[in-house]
Amino acid sequence: MSDRTVLTGIVGETFQPITRNVPAEEPPELPPNAELRVIGKPVNRVDAVPKVMGKARYTYDVQLPGMLYARIVSSTVPHARIKSIDTSAAEAYPGVKAVHILDRVLSIAQLRDPGAEANESYPLVRYNGQPIAAVAAVTARAAKAAAKLVRIEYERFPHVTGLEEAMRDDAPVVFSGPTEQAATAGGGGAPPGLPQKGNLRGPARGGLGGGGRGDVQQGFAQADHVLTREYRTQVQTHTPMETHGLVADWRDEELTLYASTQFTLSVRDEAAEVFKLPKEKIRVISEFTGGGFGAKFGIGNYGVLAIHLSRKARAPVRLVLDRREEHVSVGNRPSSLQRVKLGAKRDGTITALQVESFGTGGVAAGAGVGFAHTAMYPIPNLAVEHYDVFTDAGPCAAFRAPGQVQGIFALEQALDELAHELKMDPLALREKIDTNDTDDSRARKVERRVGAERAGWSKHRPPATDSGPIKRGMGVAQSQWAYVVHGTTTCEVRIRGDGSVIALNGAQDIGTGTRTVMAQTVAEELGLRVEDIDARIGDSRYPAGAASGGSRVTSSITPAARNAAYLAARDLAGRVAQSLGAKPDEIVFQDGRIFVRGRPERGMTFVEAVRKANFDEIVHRADRREDYDGYRIKLGDLHISRHGIGGVQFAEVAVDTETGVVKVERIVAVHDCGRPINPKLIESQIYGGVLQGVSFALYEERQLDPGTGVQLNANIDQYKIVGARETPAIEVHVIEQLGRQSSTDARGVAEPANVATAAAIANAFYNATGKRIRTLPMNPANVLAALRADEGQP
Amino acid sequence: MMELSLTVNGRACTVHVDPAATLVEVLRDELGLTGTKIGCDRGACSACTVWLDGEVVASCMTFALDARGKQITTIEGLAKGEQLHPVQQAFVENDAMQCGFCTPGMVMSCAHLVERNPDCTLDDVRGAISGHLCRCGAYPNIFKATLAAAAAMRQRKNGGGA
């Protein structure tokens, strides 16, 4: 370790020298992007061509010789004991090769007492659509036909699907005793050991899911204004275009899994655990993943079934969910009912914040409302209590900024309400209270100013200015997410004897551009172009990679890639320096050439240098070292900085007060992500985050039939998602913040991009109409109800 | 099972399939043309879009039988060798994709639009892909890419005449 003096700050704003204790092996600090050749440039996605040509091979597309097609048998009742399962007709169906019945259900809460249901022959059914068994056959049609022949006899129990119904004392109980919910690599999970009464599990107070400090009663006593409000958000399903799926190929020597996943190693590790296999005997391949948004971790019940079927049939088995199964059984963003009490002085100083939240993630826990209350503003007196409410519905999973989207919808609208009560500009209120000593707070200060200029905030009008039936308005909300690093991340860089360069990491790409950012980083260090780097990912045999969850791939992989490329460059420099009459540390790599610093004519091309050095291959591996200042929390490989990432978003809406139809016309999104590695891909991520936020705010809502627990809109035509016609004008601005915590300073952006959108739209709705909308989605029913409500009433 | 002759990307081929097989099932499972995706299998997401005699269809809603005697063009047949169609090229340059799963269908609809109407407007592009779903939210870049491709095609046409 050695102390280095580095400049930290936001490019174009103020920079200040600080001292960082940096491991001696770390490469020197990178200058701002303007001085770099590849990093920070909007280069094309390196795998765009196979994607536009239909050559990109997703798990969905894997076809192996002798491969069987599998189909799941799901429950048709919401709550029951299975008395018997008769698979004989399915097994006798032509073309069927194997049938398997699940003996445990993954991804849902587990009873704390492992013996509580030990006498049951089969896992209890706790929601309509719960996977029970699967059939593998030579064609997909045969598997589907045979699956219908599986006969299941149920003993029905009373069920409950609504949040508030499930909270009643006399509600049917989903779990007979207290439960625990393991976290996934992408988040989710619930704190262990909490009390559970009926369907209510909680309160959760500590950790990332909530927290407290000071004395809220005293804080409210000091307040001039106290505001009490109730906010509700709905259940949203992930709906990735590629449904969850796995192709399992069980061989005695090795199990190969082709997985549509957000983390190859989570697939390997869970398969190893369930099937009691050594990890070395499992290989996971994920060339392309068709979206995930938080729900694609581990093997899931479908994966367990595919592997069992492959083992039984002695053939590769493809099990890919259909669209209904995808909506129902593999994850959703839980609902929330949030009671917010906010106390403030006349000048806007917040004296206390109290939040009580309830949310249902169906048969899974993890419906908390994020950590913004604790982490975004230095509120002196704070109490957050969260309860999970179990219902007979499919399990929740981490979903792009889990909890934070719901929490910020309430918090940022409550602050807007407070600003109006205090007759303060909502941005001025944020300016007063957003004062933490963190990089994200410093970034938001700049983002508020830049965003206000671009959005034309100074021209925004008083609430309900328009006199006609269509009312327009503008609103603002702030975003925050954690700056996350994946602990175990290693990259390998190989320079081949012919001058070609390969970069390896086992991570996957769910659409963010993993290959591209890795290639850019290596190219920068070696003075090459992106297309000179063969970036290979998506194989558990490559050096350990990062999870695509928590916005951590770029922050984790690029420093490891740079460190490995740096070692490779120094190695090569050492081999050719003498022939250039220079010392190795005088050799620089730039524009495809290797030359003596300050003397570009004393050099040669990269390929010539490799040939001159005359080797078969140089191989260097390097790790993503810990942030120079360390972390606030380490939960396994999930390392969380005390600094966050975030942004500020401005929304313009038009509300038709006669029909209740809301249109979002424009979003200005200003974000930070440390050092932007590729502005083009970052812009894409922010578009996606904003659009998912618009979709959550306006359209999406899972509808369950209370009588049967059946999801009524488990398809794409009735589960409305924002489309081309509803896409607003979106203007993205990204600031360059050099935090000097790693060798690339890169941080994530995917999650913060979708955190603030719904709150900004809700605040714009108020500015347009003079009425608050505290219930999502803003569909005509909720909008007309909000327009009819007396102000101040929830 | 029945024998079926189809013309896919200019090539004649014969398959033995269930009469109820959809066109996308035959393309993917019999012919190995996995570029065409299934997102919903009920005509709601358009990930399965192909051209039938030059018109866009949802191949999950089309019986393979009904494609007899017609020219079927899939995403694999759009480029001329390694030479990308202008819409494909514009998708690459404008990053009109993220995960890429909806991309083949999007490209087929947008390419159909610009071939038919190189003077297309933003509203035309919105209309052409209004039946498509992109969950990653690439729409703004799909708009940019398609309009850029249309401009390139106009230029090519005008340039060709000059």
Whether B150 and B104 share a structural domain: yes
Indicate the residue of B34, B78, B140 with minimum beta-carbon distance to A730: B140
Contact between B47 and A241 using a beta-carbon 8 Å cutoff: yes
Contact between A241 and B138 using a beta-carbon 8 Å cutoff: no
Whether B9 and B73 share a structural domain: yes
State which residues form the domain around B105. Answer: 86-161
Whether B17 and B55 share a structural domain: yes
Mean pLDDT over all residues of chain A?
A: 96
CB A179 within 8 A of CB A109: yes
The reply to whether domains A62-157+241-291+296-329 and A436-484+634-788 share a CATH topology is yes
**Per-residue pLDDT tens digits for A632-687:** 999 899 999 999 999 999 999 999 999 999 999 999 999 999 999 999 999 999 99
Contact between A687 and B137 using a beta-carbon 8 Å cutoff: yes
What band does B157 get if pLDDT is binned at 50, 70 and 90?
A: confident
Burial of A643 (0-12, 13-18, 19+ CB in 10 A): buried
Contact between B141 and A140 using a beta-carbon 8 Å cutoff: no
Q: CA-CA distance, A464 to A459, in Å (whole number)?
A: 14
Last residue of a domain, one of B77, B102, B124: B77
The predicted pLDDT at position A212 comes to 87
Q: Tell me the shortest Cα–Cα distance from B57 to chain A, in angstroms.
A: 17
Q: CA-CA distance, A55 to B100, in Å (whole number)?
A: 11
Contact between A288 and B125 using a beta-carbon 8 Å cutoff: no
Percent of chain B with pLDDT over 70: 98
Whether B67 and B91 share a structural domain: no
| CA angle (A677 as vertex; A674, A680 as ends), nearest 5 | 115
> Between A and B, how many residue pairs show a Cβ–Cβ distance under 8 A?
167
Q: Testing the interface with A: which of B98, B141, B142 to mutate, by most A Cβ within 10 A?
A: B98
Q: DSSP state, B27?
A: I
Whether B63 and B118 share a structural domain: no
The predicted pLDDT at position A55 comes to 98
Q: Tell me the shortest Cα–Cα distance from B162 to chain A, in angstroms.
A: 31
Residues of B in contact with A288 (CB under 8 A): 99-101
Last residue of a domain, one of B77, B100, B134: B77
What band does A451 get if pLDDT is binned at 50, 70 and 90?
A: very high
Residues of A in contact with B35 (CB under 8 A): 53-55
- For residue A56, what is the nearest residue in chain B, using CA coordinates? B35
Whether B73 and B109 share a structural domain: no
pLDDT beyond 80 at A790: no
pLDDT beyond 80 at A388: yes
Q: CA-CA distance, A410 to A412, in Å (whole number)?
A: 6
The predicted pLDDT at position A187 comes to 54
Q: CA-CA distance, A475 to A769, in Å (whole number)?
A: 12
Question: Residue B91's closest CA among A570, A56, A674?
Answer: A56
Q: Is B9 on the interface with A (CB under 8 A)?
A: no
Percent of chain A with pLDDT over 90: 96
Q: DSSP state, A117?
A: T
Whether B70 and B100 share a structural domain: no
Whether B22 and B53 share a structural domain: yes
Q: CA-CA distance, A512 to B98, in Å (whole number)?
A: 6
- What average pLDDT does the segment A565-593 reach? 97
Helix (H) or strand (E) holding A599: strand A599-605
In which region does residue A539 sit, left (phi positive, over 0), alpha (psi from -120 to 50) or beta (all else)? beta
pLDDT beyond 60 at A185: no
Alpha helices in A626-714, H assignment, sequence order: 679-698
Residues 103-132 of B with CB under 8 A from A: 103-104, 107, 125-127, 129-130, 132
Any idea which residue has 């009663």 for tokens?
A: A217
pTM (two decimals): 0.97
**Per-residue pLDDT tens digits for A44-75:** 999 999 999 999 999 999 999 999 999 999 99
Contact between B100 and A511 using a beta-carbon 8 Å cutoff: yes
Last residue of a domain, one of B77, B103, B126: B77
- What average pLDDT does the segment A512-519 reach? 98
| CA angle (A583 as vertex; A581, A587 as ends), nearest 5 | 90
Contact between A291 and B98 using a beta-carbon 8 Å cutoff: yes
Q: CA-CA distance, A481 to A640, in Å (whole number)?
A: 10
Residues of B in contact with A680 (CB under 8 A): 95
Question: Residue A638's closest CA among A508, A745, A487?
Answer: A487
**Per-residue pLDDT tens digits for A195-204:** 999 999 999 9
Q: DSSP string covering A72-99, please?
A: EEE-SSSSEEEEEEE-HHHHHSTTEEEE
The predicted pLDDT at position A791 comes to 55
Residues 60-79 of B with CB under 8 A from A: 74-76, 78-79
**Per-residue pLDDT tens digits for A392-426:** 999 999 999 999 999 999 999 999 999 999 999 99
Q: DSSP state, A361?
A: B
Class of domain A436-484+634-788: alpha beta
Question: Residue A725's closest CA among B138, B91, B127?
Answer: B127
Q: How many distinct structural domains can be found in chain B?
A: 2
What band does A209 get if pLDDT is binned at 50, 70 and 90?
A: very low
Q: Testing the interface with A: which of B84, B99, B108 to mutate, by most A Cβ within 10 A?
A: B99
Q: Tell me the shortest Cα–Cα distance from A759 to chain B, in angstroms.
A: 19
Q: Is B102 on the interface with A (CB under 8 A)?
A: yes
Residues of A in contact with B95 (CB under 8 A): 44-45, 48, 680-681, 683-684
Contact between B141 and A687 using a beta-carbon 8 Å cutoff: yes
Residue A365 DSSP SS3: coil
The predicted pLDDT at position B160 comes to 58
Whether B156 and B103 share a structural domain: yes
Percent of chain A with pLDDT over 70: 98
Contact between A323 and B103 using a beta-carbon 8 Å cutoff: no
Indicate the residue of B84, B99, B130 with minimum beta-carbon distance to A511: B99
Q: Tell me the shortest Cα–Cα distance from B16 to chain A, in angstroms.
A: 13
Contact between B45 and A290 using a beta-carbon 8 Å cutoff: no
Q: Does the A488-625 domain belong in CATH 2.160.10.10?
A: no
Contact between A688 and B44 using a beta-carbon 8 Å cutoff: no
- Write the CB contacts of A33 (distance below 8 Å, at least 6 apart in sequence): A11, A39, A40, A41, A675, A676, A736
Tokens for A613, please give them. 């050095």
Distances (CA, A) of A47 to A71, A145, A491, A555, B86: 31, 38, 19, 20, 17
Maximal C-alpha separation, chain A:
86
**Per-residue pLDDT tens digits for B68-89:** 999 999 999 999 999 999 999 9
- 3-state percent breakdown (helix, strand, coil) of chain B, nearest 5: 40, 20, 40
Indicate the residue of A680, A722, A725 with minimum beta-carbon distance to B95: A680
- Write the CB contacts of A437 (distance below 8 Å, at least 6 apart in sequence): none
| Active-site residue list of A | 751
Residues of B in contact with A716 (CB under 8 A): 39-40, 42, 44-45, 133
In which region does residue A538 sit, left (phi positive, over 0), alpha (psi from -120 to 50) or beta (all else)? left
CATH number corresponding to A62-157+241-291+296-329: 3.30.365.10
A273-284 per-residue burial string, b: 16 or more CB within 10 A, e: under 16: ebbebeeebbbb
The predicted pLDDT at position A13 comes to 96
- Write the CB contacts of B90 (distance below 8 Å, at least 6 apart in sequence): B96, B144, B145, B146, B148, B149, B152
Q: Tell me the shortest Cα–Cα distance from B161 to chain A, in angstroms.
A: 29
The bridge status of strand A68-74 relative to strand A282-285 is unpaired
pLDDT beyond 60 at A794: no
Q: What backbone phi and psi angles, to 5 degrees, belong to A556?
A: -95, -45
Residues of A in contact with B98 (CB under 8 A): 291, 511-512, 684-685, 688
The predicted pLDDT at position A191 comes to 87
Contact between A723 and B130 using a beta-carbon 8 Å cutoff: yes
Contact between B126 and A239 using a beta-carbon 8 Å cutoff: no
The predicted pLDDT at position A555 comes to 98
Residues of A in contact with B132 (CB under 8 A): 723-724
Q: CA-CA distance, A114 to A191, in Å (whole number)?
A: 18
Residues of B in contact with A721 (CB under 8 A): 133, 135
Residues of A in contact with B129 (CB under 8 A): 724
Q: CA-CA distance, A51 to B141, in Å (whole number)?
A: 15
Tokens for A393, please give them. 């519905």
Percent of chain B with pLDDT over 90: 95
Domains of chain A, by residue range, sit at 62-157+241-291+296-329, 436-484+634-788, 488-625
Whether B111 and B151 share a structural domain: yes
The predicted pLDDT at position A184 comes to 62
Whether B69 and B123 share a structural domain: no
Whether B68 and B132 share a structural domain: no
Residues of B in contact with A688 (CB under 8 A): 98, 136-138
Residues 17-46 of B with CB under 8 A from A: 18, 20, 25, 28-29, 32-42, 44-45
ipTM (interface pTM): 0.98
Q: CA-CA distance, A746 to A760, in Å (whole number)?
A: 27
Q: Tell me the shortest Cα–Cα distance from B123 to chain A, in angstroms.
A: 8
- What average pLDDT does the segment A450-460 reach? 97
Question: Residue A299's closest CA among A364, A242, A248, A238?
Answer: A248
Residues of B in contact with A715 (CB under 8 A): 40, 42, 44
The predicted pLDDT at position B158 comes to 83
- Write the CB contacts of A533 (distance below 8 Å, at least 6 apart in sequence): A501, A502, A503, A518, A519, A522, A523, A526
- 3-state percent breakdown (helix, strand, coil) of chain A, nearest 5: 30, 30, 40
Contact between A241 and B139 using a beta-carbon 8 Å cutoff: no
Any idea which residue has 């059984």 for tokens?
A: A329
Tokens for A649, please give them. 């978003």
